Structure 1
Amino acid sequence: MQTAPNIPKDGIPENVIGVTSVLSNTDLEIVWGNHELEKDIEPTSRWKRILKTLEVSHGTKPISVLRNPDLEPVSTKERTWGFFSFFAYWGLPNFAVATYSTGSALLALNLNIQQSIGALVIANVLIATVTVLNSNPGIRFHIGYTLTQRMIFGIYGSFVGIMFRVGLSVVIYGYQSWLGGLCVNMIFDSFSGNYLNMTNTFPESVPMAKKDLIGFLCFQLIQMPFAFVRPSRVNTPSIAACFMTMFSIIGMLAYLVQANGGPGPLYYQKVDLSSDQRSWMWLFAITIWYSGVAPAVANQSDYSRFASGETSCYLGLFLGTVLPGTFVSLAGMLCASACKELYGTAFWTPTEIVEQWLTTDYSSKARAAAFFIGISFTASQMFLNLTQNGYACGMDLAGIFPRFVDITRGTLFVQLISWVVQPWKFFNTSSSFLTAMGSFGMFVTPIVTLNIIEFYWIRRGKITLIDFFTLSKKGAYWYTLGINWRSMVCLVIGVALGIPGLIYQCYPELEANAAMVNYYFGYMFFIPIVTGVPYLVLTYLFPVHHEKLQMVDPVDFYNCFSDKELANLGMQPGNNSSEDLYEYLDAKLPDSLADVPEIVQEKKAVSGA
C-alpha cells in the first residue's frame, strides 16, 4: 500500500478523482477493508511461519479468510462449457449404476413399468426446470454454490449451507465409489476366470467379499489423480464417458430383449392400488428420483459458471436431465424384466447381468461385452463422483478454509475420508442407508428454494460480487452479525418437518403418523411451500434495508464479465491486465479512509446518480 497521496489546495487528491466518480463511500470502505484483510503479512513466529507454508498456492492473487482464487468469479477465458458439456454433466448421474437400478425401488411401490416411467418423466421435467432457475447466479455472475450461501445465509451463516453439502458429499462419495468398485470388477472379471470365481477369505463378520474390496481400492486409486485436474477441464472426458455408457446400455437392452423374445413379465405386470394410494405412490416415486440428483440441483452454479452462453447451458442441462433420465431407467426395468424370464431372476444392476453372462459362458464374446460395459460404467461412475461429490466438497471446504484449502486439497480430503463411512455396509447389511438416501433431497431443497427466492424476488437478479469477500458490516451480505436469521428459520422448518417421515421409513415397526409420512412422500413439492412462503412473509415483515440491494458492482472488480455483459449490467470495466484490480486501485487509494478529504467521501457514485 502506498502512502497517502499529496492533497492539493482544492482538497481533492488528483489520483482519487477517477475512482470516487464510480465508487460510493460504501464501496470505497469495502475496497480498502478488503485491502487490509488480504495484506500479505510477514510471519513473526515459528508457528505463523508453519501456517504460512501451508497456505494454498495463489500466485499474484490475494487470499484472506474469505477469498482464494477458487472462490472468485470465473473469468471469460475459463468459460468453455457448451451444450454437450452440460448435457454430459447431467447425463453422468443418469448413465450410472444407481439410475439404471432405479426401477427396483419404483416397482417396489407397487407401480408398474408404465406408471414408473410416467412419474419419471414428470420428475425430470420438474427437476430440469428447478435446475435452470437455480443455475443463474452461476451463469450471469459466474459464482459457485459456496458464494450463493453467503447471499442466502450471510457471511457467517453460510457455513450451515456449506456443511450440509460437505456432509452429503462425503457420504455419497463413499457410496458411489463402492458402486464404482463393482464396475471395475466387471473389467477384471473379463481378464481372468480365476478372478471371476475368487472365493471370499474374510470372516463372516466382515460384510464384504475379497474381490469387492479389491475393486473398491482400485477405483479409489484411479480417481485420486483427477483431484489435480481443474473441474472446468473434465467436460470432454465426461462427454466421452456418457456416450460410451449410452451405447453399452443400448447394447444390453437390445441383446436381452431379443434373446428373451420380448420385454418379459414385469412389463405386463398388473397393479392394484386405489386412486388415493396411487397418487401418493406417484408423488413418492417422483421424490425418490429427485432425491438422487438433488445435490446436483443445489450445486448447479458450481458448473453453470463455466457456461460459454446461457442458451447452450439451459438446453444442455434440460435435455441432459429429461432424455437420459427417462431412457436409462426404462432400459434398466426392461433389462430386469427380460432377465427374470431368461435367468429366473430380475437383475437390477449391470454387474449382476455381466456376472451371469460370464458364469454361464466364459467365451471371448462374453468377455468382450463385460470389458466394454465395465469400462463404460467405470468411466461414468468416476466422473459422476468427481464432479458432483469430489470437486463439490473441495469447493465447499475452500469456502470454509480459504487460506489453506483449494479444490484440489478438498477433493483429496473427501477421497481419503470417504472410507470412514464404510460404504460396503450400505449394501451388504440390513443398514437403513439405502432407505435414508431417499431423504437426501430433504436437506438441500430448502437451500434451492431460498436461493431462487433470494436471487429473483429479493434481489431482482442483481447481486454485488465484492461484498462476498468482506467482513465489513456495511457489506450487502452481513445481515445481522453476519447471519440472515430469516433464512435460517425457514431452513430449520423445511428440514424438521421431514424428519418424522424419514424415521418412519427407516423403522417401519413404529406406528406412523399418516400426515408426516405423506409429507415425506411428497417433500419435493411441500418443502418449497413450507420454506418459501415463510421466507417471503419474514422478508416482508422484517425487510432487509441495504443501499446496495438490487444493485451490481459499479466496477468489474474481478475481470469476469465480457464487454456485452458489462454493457447490459451498466458496469465499468476493471483492470484488463493480469494484475489484480485491488493492486490496480492501490495506486489510487490512500492508506485509510480517514485520509480521503470530506469533499471526496461525500461525492455521489455515478452508478447511483
Structure 2
Amino acid sequence: MNEDEQTIKNAYPVVSPTDVCILENEKELQEDRQGNKWWQKVLSKIEVPHDIGDPISVLRNPDLRPIKTKDRTWGFWSFFAYWGLPNFAVATYSTGSALLALQLNIQQSIGAVVIANILIAFFTILNSNPGIKYHIGYTLDQRMIFGVYGSFLGIIIRVGLSIVLYGYLGWLGGLCMNMVFDSFSKNYLNMKNTFSESVPMTRKDCIGFLCFQLIQMPFAFVRPRRVNVPSIVSCFMTLFAIIGMMAYLISKNGGPGPLYHEKVTLPSSTRSWMWISAMSIWYSGVSGGVTNQSDYSRFASSSKKCYTGLFLGTVLPGTFVSLAGMLCASACKGLYGETYWTPDEIVEQWLNDDYSAKSRAASFFVGISFTSSQLFLNLTQNGYSCGMDLAGILPKYIDIKRGTLFVQLISWVVQPWTFFNTSSGFLNAMSSFGIFTTPISVISIIEYYCIRKSKLSQLDFFTLSKKGSYWFDYGVNWKAVASLLAGITMGIPGLIYQVHEEISPNTEMLNFYHGYLFFIPLVSGGLYYILSLIFPFKHEKLCCEDPIDYFDCFSEKELEKMGMLPFEESQEVLYEVGDQRVEEFDAASLSEHEEDKNNLRIETKLRPKKRI
C-alpha cells in the first residue's frame, strides 16, 4: 500500500455511523404516508403549512426548527421590553400592594422584591443559553431533559399554566378596557349589574373581558418575533401612566399616606418567613417566563444584548412599579379611606368624584396604556408560548398560530373572575404557579451545564432513533421525571394549607411552600444531580455537537467557533485537504499539501442534499 492509499484509509468521515442512522430515521419520519381512507385524506389536508425544503414530521414543523440568523433580530430594547411587560402591567402593580397583606411594611416589601428580582434575572440568564447558543425553544429544551417522549410532561404542565394565566391576564385586560370605555360614557361608568348575586362579576366586567379577548385574537396571526417594537412602545406608555398616577395621588394627599409609615409588629421569626414568602409570590408571577425563556432568547442577535436587556428589564421596572403601586395604595388610603390595589379602582374613584374632561382624559390614557401592556404581556408570556408548546405535542397539525388561537378560545373556562373575589384568593392564585415550573428550570440548568457541558446536538431533537442522545430509556429520562415530581409533591401540601385555612397545617410543610423559591431547587436540583452521579448517562454523542449545520441556522462566526461545517443545499462527495476543498481526490491535489496528509477529511455522500 503506497503512502497516498494509506492516507485515504486513515481519513475519517464527517458524518458518523450514529448520525447516519439518525438521518435515515429522520428521513423516514418525514416521508408522506398518505393513505386512501377518508380520515387519512382529511388529516393530510389539515397539516400545518410548510415548504418542501422545510419538512414536517411527528417531531417537527417550521415553528420548532432552530431559528435562522436572519430572524434573530432582538436586541437590548426588545429583551428589556419583553421582561418589562410583566412589570409594567396590572399584575405587578397590584401584587406590590397585595404584599402588604403579609403584614410587611412598604420598605420591607420593596427589599424582598429587589432580592427576588435579582434572583429572577439570575435564573433567567441561566435558562437563556440553549436558546442563545443553539437557537432552540422550550419544547426542544424539554426533550433534552425529559427525553423525546418524556418531554410531553413538561410541555403539558406549561400548556396548563398558560391557559390559566391567559385567562387571568385577560380578565385584568378587561378591567383596563373598562377604563377606556368609562371615559367615553358616564352611563357605561354607572352601568347597572343585571347578573344575579351568585355570579362573581358585573355586566360591565364581562363586557370588558370579552372585548379584550376579541382584540387579542388577530395577533395570533402575527409572528412572535415581530411584536418586539409595539411591546417597547407599550412599556413606555405604561411607565408614563404610572408616574402620572403616583405623582398626582402623592401630591394631592400631601405625602405617601399612612401605609408608608406603618411599623411591622410581626415576631422576627415570622417576619423572616414572610420575607421569603413575599419573594416566592413575586417570583411565581413570572416563573413561567423564566422557565420558557429559550422560546424568546433564540431571537437574540447577541448574548450580551439579551443578558443586559433582561436583567435591567427585570430589576428596574420590577422595583419601580411595585413601589409605585404600594405608594399609590397608601395615598388612596389617606385620600379615600380605601386601599385600592388596581388602577381601574383608582380611575373609577376619580370619575365618580368629578366626571370632567380632565378625569376622562386621565382615564383614557391610563386605560389605553395598561390595556396595551396587558395585551402584549398576555400574547408573549402565554398566547405564543402555549402555541409553541402545543406545536411540540402535535407538530404536524399545530403551529404557533393555531396553538395561540386555541388558548384564546379556551382560556375562559378557568373562570378568572374568581381569582379576584378576595385578596387571599388573589395571593393563592399567584403564589402557586412556580411550584410546577421551578423544578423544570432547575433540572434544565443542571442538564445543560453539568451533564452536557453546554454542548447539544440539534439533529437528535428530531429523531425517534434509539441512537439519539435524547432517547435515554425508552424515550424517557426517568431521573428528571422523578426529580420533577419530588419537587412538586413537596410543595402541594403547603398549597392545600394555604387555600383551605380551616385545615390545621404542618408548620414545616407550610414553611416549605412559603419558601419554595429556595427549597424546590435544593430538592429537585439536588436529587437530579445525585441520581445523575449514581446512574450516569452514557452516550457517544454526550457533550458533542453536530459536525454539520444541518438546519442552516448558524452564522459564519458561530460555525468557526464550534468547528462546524456550513450547510450546503447540494453537495456530492467533498474532500478537504489543508485549506482547500476538492470534489475529486487525486494524488496531484494531495501532493500540493504534503504537510496535511494526516489531516485529510472526507465528507461522504451521506451529507444531506436537502435541508434536514
Q: Structures share a fold, TM > 0.5?
A: yes
Structure-1 separation of matches of 2:39 and 2:333: 65
Check the 8 A contact 2:65/2:551 in 1, yes or no: yes
Structure-2 separation of matches of 1:157 and 1:28: 24
Q: Does structure 1 residue 219 correspond to structure 2 residue 219?
A: no
Name the counterpart of 1:33: 25
Check the 8 A contact 1:555/1:572 in 2, yes or no: yes
Name the counterpart of 2:58: 65
Q: Which runs of 5+ in 1 are unaligned?
A: 1-13, 578-583, 590-602
Structure-1 separation of matches of 2:426 and 2:359: 34
**One-letter amino acid matched to 1:379:** S
* 1:3-18 superposed matches below 5 A: none
* 1:203-218 superposed matches below 5 A: 203-218=196-211
Structure-2 separation of matches of 1:540 and 1:552: 23
Kindly tell me: are residues 431 and 483 of structure 1, through their superposed partners in 2, closer, same or farther at Cα, counting changes over 3 Å?
Answer: same
Check the 8 A contact 2:98/2:427 in 1, yes or no: no
1:355 deviation in Å?
A: 0.3
* 1:57-206 superposed matches below 5 A: 57-60=49-52, 61-206=54-199
Name the counterpart of 2:307: 314
How well do the aligned residues superpose, as a CA RMSD in angstroms?
2.0
Relative to the length of structure 1, the TM-score reads 0.91
Name the counterpart of 1:482: 475
Name the counterpart of 2:353: 360
**One-letter amino acid matched to 2:420:** F
1:434 deviation in Å?
A: 4.5
Name the counterpart of 1:50: 42
Once the two structures are superposed, residues 294-324 of structure 1 have per-residue CA deviations (whole angstroms, 9 ceiling, x without a partner) of 0010010000000000100000000000000
Structure-1 separation of matches of 2:424 and 2:409: 22
Name the counterpart of 2:494: 501
**One-letter amino acid matched to 2:191:** M
Check the 8 A contact 1:67/1:402 in 2, yes or no: yes
1:437 deviation in Å?
A: 2.6
Structure-2 separation of matches of 1:101 and 1:489: 36
1:425 deviation in Å?
A: 2.2
Deviates more, 1:35-44 or 1:246-255: 35-44
* 1:78-477 superposed matches below 5 A: 78-428=71-421, 432=425, 434-477=427-470
Deviates more, 1:97-106 or 1:260-269: 97-106
Check the 8 A contact 2:419/2:429 in 1, yes or no: no
**One-letter amino acid matched to 2:311:** F
Structure-1 separation of matches of 2:34 and 2:109: 63
Report percent identity of matched pairs: 67
Check the 8 A contact 1:436/1:502 in 2, yes or no: no
Structure-1 separation of matches of 2:91 and 2:150: 33
Secondary structure of the residue aligned to 2:102 is coil
Kindly tell me: are residues 605 and 272 of structure 1, through their superposed partners in 2, closer, same or farther at Cα, counting changes over 3 Å?
Answer: farther
1:105 deviation in Å?
A: 2.4
1:262 deviation in Å?
A: 0.6
Once the two structures are superposed, residues 235-273 of structure 1 have per-residue CA deviations (whole angstroms, 9 ceiling, x without a partner) of 000000000000000000111111111101000001112
Structure-2 separation of matches of 1:217 and 1:348: 22
Q: Does structure 1 residue 24 correspond to structure 2 residue 16?
A: yes
* 1:582-601 superposed matches below 5 A: 584=570
How many equivalent residue pairs? Answer: 571
Q: Does structure 1 residue 565 correspond to structure 2 residue 558?
A: yes
Once the two structures are superposed, residues 70-119 of structure 1 have per-residue CA deviations (whole angstroms, 9 ceiling, x without a partner) of 00000000000000000000000000101001133211111000000000
Check the 8 A contact 2:98/2:341 in 1, yes or no: no
**One-letter amino acid matched to 2:73:** T
Structure-1 separation of matches of 2:422 and 2:109: 27
Structure-2 separation of matches of 1:488 and 1:337: 45
Structure-2 separation of matches of 1:425 and 1:38: 46
Name the counterpart of 1:6: none
Structure-1 separation of matches of 2:529 and 2:93: 39
Structure-2 separation of matches of 1:210 and 1:299: 36
Structure-2 separation of matches of 1:426 and 1:549: 45
1:208 deviation in Å?
A: 1.3
Structure-1 separation of matches of 2:573 and 2:223: 35
Check the 8 A contact 1:174/1:422 in 2, yes or no: yes
Kindly tell me: are residues 604 and 436 of structure 1, through their superposed partners in 2, closer, same or farther at Cα, counting changes over 3 Å?
Answer: farther
Residue of 517, 525, 528 corresponding to 2:521: 528
Secondary structure of the residue aligned to 1:234 is helix
**One-letter amino acid matched to 2:297:** S
Check the 8 A contact 1:73/1:143 in 2, yes or no: yes
Name the counterpart of 1:4: none
Secondary structure of the residue aligned to 2:471 is coil
Check the 8 A contact 1:436/1:506 in 2, yes or no: no
Structure-1 separation of matches of 2:361 and 2:223: 33
Structure-2 separation of matches of 1:430 and 1:386: 26
Check the 8 A contact 2:281/2:427 in 1, yes or no: no
Name the counterpart of 1:598: none
Structure-1 separation of matches of 2:426 and 2:154: 22
Structure-2 separation of matches of 1:510 and 1:232: 47
1:202 deviation in Å?
A: 1.5
Name the counterpart of 1:551: 544
Structure-2 separation of matches of 1:42 and 1:536: 44
Name the counterpart of 1:5: none
Check the 8 A contact 2:162/2:383 in 1, yes or no: yes
Kindly tell me: are residues 442 and 605 of structure 1, through their superposed partners in 2, closer, same or farther at Cα, counting changes over 3 Å?
Answer: farther
1:604 deviation in Å?
A: 9.6
1:606 deviation in Å?
A: 8.4
